[in-house]
Amino acid sequence: MGDRIYQHEDLDTIGKKDPQPATSIDICTITSIDSKFAAMEDRLQSYENMHDRFTSPIMRYLDSLCTQMMKVQKDIGKLHDIT
């Protein structure tokens, strides 16, 4: 059977042709896929955590910078109105 993932109907057909369609290799393949998927989820979570730790301070800084720029823009507007 190899590494191919079979639909339930395929397994029924194989079972009719092969008296022993399920082997320990099939279970090992499924276990291996589950392990790889779990590892990928863990890696994705760590990337998301790194992203949050990196972007959070940057976003706070940009928010602060934006607020300061708006204040300066208002001050410039006030100076323009005076002259």
Q: Tens-digit pLDDT profile for the chain (83 aa)?
A: 444 555 555 555 555 555 555 555 667 777 788 888 899 999 999 988 888 888 888 888 999 999 999 999 998 888 877 76
| pLDDT value, residue 1 | 44
Tell me which residue of 62, 42, 61 sits closest to 50, measured CA to CA: 42
- What's the pTM? 0.38
HSE-up of 59 (CA within 13 Å, CB side)? 6
